[in-house]
Structure 1
Amino acid sequence: MTTLTPTPRDHRLPASRVWDESSMILPTLVCQVLANACGDLVDVQPSAARGKTMRPEIRPAIRVRPREAPWVDGNRIVGRLLVVTFVDSDDPLIIKPLNLVDRWTGNVLPEYLAGLPGVSMKLRTIERTIIANKIPSCPSYAAHYWSASVTL
């Protein structure tokens, strides 16, 4: 009997405490889409630090960081993201990629791709949102787990 050894792509976190520049391409592009959708109402920034996402000074806020190294194929980048939203109230800010995309194609709507000429993006939820609003003295937050696919 022959035993096959699987050779999965290695998507583990890098050994450093900060993601490298190539891993930050998707979070940066998704931040532009979220900034276009939210306007000046929410502070939207990519976060390169691994581990716990620090609470921002300005709230409401959205922080986007990679969950694994992106997969690149030619002019297409695919990866998983952690999108964390922070607010001062008891009700966390819940954002759904379904509100940002065309329901038929799954592509991000053109008005949210402003400032990103030639970019085509798909967003989707891959895991259940985790909500933390149990401590009244602390800001509440929600952790959203998304997948993004970008064609440049």
Structure 2
Amino acid sequence: MNDNVRVVDRVFDIVEELACSSTPMSLSAICRATGMSKSTVHRILSSLCARQYVEKHPDNTYSIGYKMIETVSYHINSLELLTKAKPFLNDMLRDLGLTSHLGILDSCDVVYLERMDIYPSTRLYTQVGYRSPAFCSSMGKCLLACLAGDELDDAL
């Protein structure tokens, strides 16, 4: 394997661990979770902190930085599907008074792209970016139901 690719894989391993953690992580915790040495993790974190993709806290823990969120939001906001779907989500929210979701099928998972709620501060499991097995969510079952036989076999 090419070293450049290995480095990129390591960067994403660290970013994914930080993104999935509900609290900031210490250097040791990141090392344990990724199986990487402290020197490797420290070097990668230093680069990510310098570019503000990761934030280092005063207690020497790390979390995803605002630059990461900003960067990803550019892509999310540019999605044509999201632009086209938002008026329909608003209509469902207004007419039914219920939370409305937009998601896509990614292999055998649903990835939630948008959530509109009458109570926006309500914390639900279906926040934007949440990934769930399609077979165990109502949205996933609806998306799977629209697939042809061969496509359904591939997804499952």
- Structure (1 or 2) with the greater helix fraction: 2
Greater Rg over alpha carbons, structure: 2
Short-chain TM bin:
under 0.3
**Normalising by the residue count of structure 1, what TM-score does the alignment of the two structures yield?**
0.27
Scaled by the length of structure 2, what TM-score is found? 0.26
Q: Which gives a bigger RCO, structure 1 or 2 (Cα 8 Å, sep 6+)?
A: 1
